Amino acid sequence: MTQNNERDNDIVTVTKLQIALSAQASSVPAELSKLSLSADTETPEGLWGILQNTSQLLLTNSEYWTHVLTNSQTVASRQEAETVFERVSLNERSKFSTETLSNVDGEITQRQPDSAAQDEESAAYIVVTLLIGTADDQPLFGEIKSTEAVKEALEQLLSMRTDYLMVFELLWSPQAETDKLTQQQMALQYADMMQIAE
């Protein structure tokens, strides 16, 4: 069967799935922190586990979804895939006022949020970004505009085989309980996200 040889070729698909939730889903950042702190990011199984748990958490909070964005790029070599993945990751990280938690290759880093960056505007959104590198020869998803399509995408991630996942990075904003993502910040930093249709 060709499925078993999928990882043997050099073709890699890099996918970004970004979901915004209303700030009412206030437990989500703390849950993601807990998942990240307990995840074994040094092993494929550990990365697959955090992808599964994150997908499930997002499905559980589907009533809070507001916006979505997805894009996939299939490249011919692992080296090229690494370049694409790093570029997307850096672009997403640049949107954070402060990255307060990271767990990369088993190394956990925690920082205090920048209190000077706070303003009077109230919290409006939580944005969760899944960056996924897989041994697929084509994009993981088509266009996602509706609640149903977001659910199907997350269910597809839940059914992904462990050996297809090559790299995974989970990002979310705001990370710290004292931080917030305002309506204005959302409009500026995540302008390309589309409002989810029912």
Taking alpha carbons only, the member of 151, 155, 127 closest to residue 18 is 127
Taking alpha carbons only, the member of 33, 17, 15 closest to residue 127 is 17
Helix H, strand E, coil C: the string for 56-93 is HHHHHCHHHEEEEEEEEEEECCHHHHHHHHHHHHHHHH
Query: What whole-number distance in Å separates Cα of residue 98 and Cα of residue 80?
Result: 28
Q: Inform me whether the pLDDT recorded for 115 exceeds 70.
A: no
Q: How many domains does the chain have?
A: 1
pTM: 0.85
**Domain region containing 10:** 2-195
Q: Using 50, 70 and 90 to split pLDDT, how confident is the model at 107?
A: low
Q: Using 50, 70 and 90 to split pLDDT, how confident is the model at 101?
A: very low
Predicted confidence (pLDDT) per residue in 153-170, tens digit? 999 999 999 999 999 999
What share of the chain has pLDDT > 90, as a percent? 58
Query: What whole-number distance in Å separates Cα of residue 110 and Cα of residue 10?
Result: 35
